[in-house]
Amino acid sequence: MSRRTEIADVLAAPKLNETVTVMGWVRAFRSNRFIALNDGSSAKNLQVVVDQEKFDEELIRKVGFHSSIKVTGQLVESMGAGQAVEVHADQIEVLGETNLDKYPLQPKRQTMEFLRENAHFRMRTNTFSSVFRIRHAVAFAVNEYFHKNRFYYMHTPIITGSDAEGAGEMFRVTNFDPENMPKGEDGQIDWAQDFFGKATNLTVSGQLQAEIGALAMGKVYTFGPTFRAENSNTSRHLAEFWMIEPEIAFGDLEDDMDLAEDFSKYLINYILDNYMDDLEFLDKRIQDMEKNMKKEERRPMGLIEMLKFVVDNDFERITYTDAVNMLRNSKPYKKGRFEFPVEWGKDLQAEHERWLVEKKFQKPVIVTDYPKEIKAFYMRMNDDDKTVAAMDVLFPYIGEVIGGSQREERLDVLVSRMKDFGIEEEELWWYLDLRKFGGNPHAGFGMGFERMVQFITGMGNIRDVIPFPRTPKSAEF
């Protein structure tokens, strides 16, 4: 292909009165004269001005919604109000026509549900191209943050032979013929004959392996796909999602919280600093959507305003016990508005978390020191013998985005906790070895990548921040 200039570059540093060649998809063709061209490099379109007399009528007819074209022409200052510069076309070539009779997308507002069913085209819309530019940028910022802070990117396995990770239902990995599973003498399936010589699953967490890395290299992180076979049908859950799991040696819960807060703010700042065009579009989109809603149902702050507020203020840090006391003194509790009971020892429900984050503090809240019964076996036991050094970071609208803890480094305590949870020592012999040989206090957390992208983009449904969502009964594309 002959050289093209990307539209982001044309707009960022316009070379007025010079000839440029651009290629992109037609977002609109107004008045038989103005083409709004977008090539994905920017949230902003480039306006192409067409003088009909200079072109064949049949050619112009083919320039339709979402057809892809090549335009060569002079870049000049725009006479119109909506843009600074525009291209006056000298040559137009249609690279790919769109048969609008059959094409599902239309130049109008479309629902998220409809676009989800047309996920192979939805990235061509303003909303989704902004969302996926930001998704890319958040992923980049994740790696940049950790690299700058001397964390090593560790690729933990996607296929795991351990079923003691305790984070949920797993997808079985096998190359057995499902019609003819080899059975042992006891009539049970004989996994020893399977590909890996044992039962294997898709990972639900890279944390236990990340601990191996941290206890050798100091600071590591994982960032990869994670799989949960839970039958979860919500706007915050996926069966396949991406998780970021940093793990630090020589660190306690305090260090863990500091890292979680600093990291979260870095990601948000990176988007505020570099993707303002996309944020402005998404912000406006939410405001348009909320126009028809009652005041009390609208967000108290605009998207950009809220992101700035989050990075400019400290996250609130409270213990689980304090949270329970606050909830029991809250208006909705006293008026019986909560569906679920608030009692020390019971896990906080979504409605309780939302009250803490959206009503009480109106900013991210870190809840620490949960009862040991409701948290995982590897979390470090506190001196009170009732709580563990866990922390959940709760964000407005999304709820839990980060879950982490200081890890139990004391061999005897860990062994006794595993016994409580019914986990065989042989199953995790290597995990116990880490405590026997050169162990030390260490901590880490898992951040739901899509949940973070949801928060930054303001998208209401997690299926709309991943290109091809996998959810129960749904794996199209």
Task: Give the nearest distance from C-beta 259 to RNA in angstroms.
Answer: 14
Complete edge-to-edge strand list for the sheet that includes strand 159-160 = 159-160, 200-202, 172-173
> In this complex, which beta carbon is closest to RNA, that of residue 233 or of residue 313?
233
Task: Give the nearest distance from C-beta 326 to RNA in angstroms.
Answer: 17
- Check: CB of residue 338 under 8 Å from CB of residue 351: yes
3-class DSSP state of 366? strand
> In this complex, which beta carbon is closest to RNA, that of residue 286 or of residue 411?
286
Cα 193 to Cα 75, 170, 199: the distances in Å are: 67, 20, 9
3-state helix, strand, coil in the chain (%, to 5): 35, 25, 40
Task: Give the nearest distance from C-beta 356 to RNA in angstroms.
Answer: 13
Task: Give the nearest distance from C-beta 251 to RNA in angstroms.
Answer: 18
3-class DSSP state of 11? helix
> In this complex, which beta carbon is closest to RNA, that of residue 15 or of residue 284?
284
- Check: CB of residue 50 under 8 Å from CB of residue 65: no
Residue 17: which H helix or E strand, with range?
none
> In this complex, which beta carbon is closest to RNA, that of residue 60 or of residue 191?
60
Task: Give the nearest distance from C-beta 299 to RNA in angstroms.
Answer: 13
> In this complex, which beta carbon is closest to RNA, that of residue 190 or of residue 280?
280
- Check: CB of residue 201 under 8 Å from CB of residue 163: yes
Instruction: List helix spans (H) across 219-319.
Output: 253-274, 276-290, 303-312
**How far is 246 from 264, CA to CA, in rounded Å?**
12
> In this complex, which beta carbon is closest to RNA, that of residue 215 or of residue 394?
394
Task: Give the nearest distance from C-beta 86 to RNA in angstroms.
Answer: 5
| Residue 379 phi, psi dihedral angles, 5° rounding | -80, 140
Q: What angle do CA 259, 261, 263 make, to 5 degrees?
A: 65
> In this complex, which beta carbon is closest to RNA, that of residue 255 or of residue 358?
358
> In this complex, which beta carbon is closest to RNA, that of residue 241 or of residue 275?
241
> In this complex, which beta carbon is closest to RNA, that of residue 265 or of residue 463?
463
Task: Give the nearest distance from C-beta 240 to RNA in angstroms.
Answer: 8
**How far is 217 from 211, CA to CA, in rounded Å?**
10
Task: Give the nearest distance from C-beta 46 to RNA in angstroms.
Answer: 11
Task: Give the nearest distance from C-beta 190 to RNA in angstroms.
Answer: 28
**How far is 350 from 123, CA to CA, in rounded Å?**
31
What is the CA 112 to chain-centroid distance, rounded? 17
3-class DSSP state of 56? coil
Pairing of strands 442-448, 219-227: unpaired
**How far is 320 from 390, CA to CA, in rounded Å?**
10
Crossing angle of the two packed helices 126-148 and 253-274, in degrees rounded to 10: 130
> In this complex, which beta carbon is closest to RNA, that of residue 234 or of residue 329?
234
Q: Which two tokens stand for residue 412?
A: 């005897």
Task: Give the nearest distance from C-beta 156 to RNA in angstroms.
Answer: 14
